[in-house]
Amino acid sequence: MSAPAPSPLALAHVDPARVPARQDEVLTDAALAFLAELHHRFTPRRDELLARRAERRAEIARTSTLDFLPETAHIRADDSWRVAEAPAALTDRRVEITGPTDRKMTINALNSGAKVWLADFEDASAPTWENVITGQLNLTDAYERRIDFTDPRSGKSYALKDAAELATVVMRPRGWHLDERHLTVDGKPVPGALVDFGLYFFRNAQRLLDLGKGPYFYLPKTESHLEARLWNDVFVFAQDYVGIPRGTVRATVLIETITAAYEMEEILYELRDHASGLNAGRWDYLFSIVKNFRDGGAKFVLPDRNAVTMTAPFMRAYTELLVRTCHKRGAHAIGGMAAFIPNRRDPEANEKALAKVANDKDREAGDGFDGSWVAHPDLVPIARASFDAVLGDRPNQKERLREDVDVKAAALIAIDSLEAKPTYQGLVDAVQVGIRYIEAWLRGLGAVAIFGLMEDAATAEISRSQIWQWVDAGVVFEEDGHAGEKVTAELVRSVAATALADIRAEAGEEAFAAGRWQQAHDLLLQVALDADYADFLTLPAYAVLEG
C-alpha cells in the first residue's frame, strides 16, 4: 500500500475582517502544498533541536563553561575544505542596510546605495499576519518593479531607482523557536522559519535567477551546527522541489548566540555548498551570553549594555575569531550594526554620533571584515567610506587570513574582564527601552526609534535579561547616589512604575490610552522577574499580539 497523503495546511485564527489584501496571491494551492511538505519533512527535526537547546542550557547551568566541540575537531583541523564561491551579486558586501519589509522601507532600502538589504521578517518585524503576508507581496512587487509608496502624512512619493543601483536582497526568516499560528497542520502550527523561507523561496527563486541574482538568506538565532545542517537539508529539498540547481541558495549565518560562537567552522562546514558568510550580531550575542550564564554568579554579570562595546576583550575575541574563521574557509565576514538615527535638529550631537559610527566602521574594516550593517540610509556613505579606504577596488578582503588570531575557549566568556559595573541609570534605561519597545511590538512594529537609536527585538531581549540577571545575582550599585542599593524585584517594579508614569505624562492621556502601555509594562515585568525564565520574550508576547 502507498503511504497516506500528508495532512494539508489549514488557515487558522485569521479575523475575516482583517484578511490582508491580496492574500490569495501569496497563499496559492501550490505554495501551501510546498509549505506542507516542508512542515512534514523538517518540523520533527526542528522540535528535536529545540529540545537539545534546553539540554545544552542545563549543562551550561551545571558547569558554567563552554568549549570547542571535541567530536568535531577533525572538521576544524582539516584545512582542505572551503565554502562555495560567492555568486556575483554577493561578492561585494561592503555596506548592508537592515530593516522590515513594509512598503516604504522596501523602496528606501533598495534605493539606499547599500550593496545588500537584509529584508527582515525576524527581529525588525512583529509577526502580525498582515506583516507576514504584505512583506512577501512587497518583495515580489519590488522584483517585478510594480511597487511605489506615497506617505499619507507628507505626501512624498517613493519609487525604485534603476535596477543596476538597487541593493541585493538577503531575506531573514524567523528563528527556529517561533511558530506561525495562522498556518497549522492537524492543529499544530507550522514553524515561522519554514513559512517565511518557504513562501519567499517558492514565489521568488526562479524570478530572482531571471534577474541575475538568487534566493539569498540570513539565518538567525542559530545555536549549533546541527541546526545549520537542518537548514542545509531544507535548502537541498527546496531546490530539488522547484527544479533549480543545488547551490543556488546562499545563506549567511548570524553568529548571535554564544553556543554558535564555539561552532563557527562546523556551521560553515554543514552549509558549505550554500554558505556565503557569517555575521557578528552584537545585541543578540550579549542576550545569549546572559541567557545561558544568567545564574552563573558575579563573574558573568554584564554591566549596562551601552558599556559593553565591541572593544571589550571578550567581544574582540568573538569578532576576531569570526573574521579568522570566515577567511580561512573562503566566506565573507560581516560586521555589526550602526543603529544611530541621524538627528538634524542637534548638529553638534549628530556630528559626535556620526564620528562614533565612522570609528566603529573603521575598526571593522581594519580588522578584516568584508562589510558591515547600518540601520539608516544616511549611514550608508559613512560605512562605505570606511570600507572603501581599506578595500579600494577590491570587492572584499577574504585574502586577509588573520593567521595572527588564536582565540582560546575561555576568552569568549571572559565577562569578568570588564571593569564597568551595573549602574542605577543602566537599570532605568533597560526598563524604559523595554517598555517602549514591547509596546510598539504589540502594535505590530518591530523596528522602533527609541532615544535616537533604531531598536529591534534584540534590544528588548538584552534589556529584560540583564534585569533578570541583576536581580538573581543580587547586584549592588556602587556609584554615587545609589551606592549600596541592591537590585531587587521591588526596586525594578518601582522603576517600572515611574517609567510608565513618565510615558503617560510625555504622551498625554489620549495617546497613552490608545497605546498598549500597561500591557507592555506588565509583560516586561513578567519576562524580567519570573523565576521561570522565558527563552525569548517574543514567545509570551506573540500570545497577546493581535492580528
Categorise residue 402: left if φ over 0, alpha if ψ from -120 to 50, beta otherwise: left
CA distance 389 to 407: 27
pLDDT at 2 over 60: no
φ/ψ of 82, rounded to 5, equals: -135, 160
Same domain, 174 and 209: yes
Give pLDDT, residue 282: 86
- DSSP, res 388: H
The average pLDDT across 430-457 equals 97
Same domain, 389 and 494: no
Which of these three, 383, 411, 439, is where a domain ends? 411
Catalytic positions: 172, 456
Domain tally, the chain: 2
- Let me know if residue 15 belongs to a domain: no
Cα angle 483, 485, 486 (rounded to 5 degrees) comes to 135
Question: Judging by DSSP bridges, how do beta strands 116-120 and 95-100 pair with one another?
Answer: parallel
The answer to whether 106 and 131 are in contact (CB under 8 A) is no
CA distance 295 to 64: 9
Same domain, 208 and 74: yes
Helix (H/G/I), strand (E/B), else coil: 161? coil
Same domain, 406 and 443: no
φ/ψ of 525, rounded to 5, equals: -65, -35
Which pLDDT tens digit goes with each residue over 211-262? 999 999 999 999 999 999 999 999 999 999 999 999 999 999 999 999 999 9
CB burial of 223-260 (b: ≥16 within 10 Å; e: otherwise) equals bbbbbbbbbbebbeebbebeebeebbbbbbbbbbbbbb
CA dist list (Å): 16 to 20, 316, 515: 9, 51, 23
CA 330 vs. chain centroid, Å, equals 23
- Let me know if residue 416 belongs to a domain: no
Same domain, 396 and 433: no
Same domain, 371 and 404: yes
Same domain, 404 and 460: no
Provide the residue range defining the domain that includes 407. Answer: 24-411
Which pLDDT tens digit goes with each residue over 127-153? 999 999 999 999 999 999 999 999 999
- Let me know if residue 10 belongs to a domain: no
Same domain, 434 and 385: no
Same domain, 477 and 361: no
CATH number, position 483: 1.20.1220.12
% of the chain surpassing 90 pLDDT: 96
H-helix segments, 478-516:
489-507, 509-514
The answer to whether 232 and 273 are in contact (CB under 8 A) is yes
CA distance 239 to 218: 17
Which pLDDT tens digit goes with each residue over 363-398? 999 999 999 999 999 999 999 999 999 999 999 999
- Let me know if residue 72 belongs to a domain: yes
Give pLDDT, residue 344: 82
Question: Judging by DSSP bridges, how do beta strands 148-150 and 157-159 pair with one another?
Answer: antiparallel
Give pLDDT, residue 343: 87
- Let me know if residue 3 belongs to a domain: no
Helix (H/G/I), strand (E/B), else coil: 446? coil
Same domain, 32 and 93: yes
Mean confidence (pLDDT) of the chain: 96
- Let me know if residue 107 belongs to a domain: yes
The answer to whether 142 and 107 are in contact (CB under 8 A) is yes
Question: Judging by DSSP bridges, how do beta strands 179-185 and 371-374 pair with one another?
Answer: unpaired
pLDDT at 263 over 90: yes
Which of these three, 387, 411, 435, is where a domain ends? 411
- Let me know if residue 6 belongs to a domain: no
Give pLDDT, residue 7: 80
What pairs with residue 333 in β-bridges? Answer: 278
Three cell numbers at 30? 501550490
φ/ψ of 323, rounded to 5, equals: -65, -45
Better-scored residue on pLDDT, 3 or 294? 294
Name 1's Cβ contacts closer than 8 Å, sequence gap at least 6. Answer: none
CATH number, position 75: 3.20.20.360
CA dist list (Å): 392 to 44, 220, 335, 362, 388: 48, 31, 18, 14, 5
Same domain, 369 and 425: no
Instruction: Tell me which amino acid residue 232 is.
Output: N
Which of these three, 369, 390, 411, is where a domain ends? 411
Q: E strand or H helix at 372, and its extent?
A: strand 371-374
Give pLDDT, residue 416: 93
Same domain, 59 and 129: yes
- DSSP, res 123: T
H-helix segments, 64-102:
73-77
Which pLDDT tens digit goes with each residue over 517-536? 999 999 999 999 999 999 99
pLDDT at 4 over 80: no
Three cell numbers at 36? 506542507
Closest CA to 270 of 317, 333, 304, 223: 223
The answer to whether 140 and 120 are in contact (CB under 8 A) is no
Q: E strand or H helix at 359, and its extent?
A: helix 347-367
Burial category of 443 from C-beta neighbours within 10 Å (exposed 0-12, middle 13-18, buried 19 and up): middle
CA distance 456 to 172: 14
Cα angle 357, 358, 360 (rounded to 5 degrees) comes to 65
Instruction: Tell me which amino acid residue 513 is.
Output: A
- Let me know if residue 359 belongs to a domain: yes
CA distance 417 to 314: 8
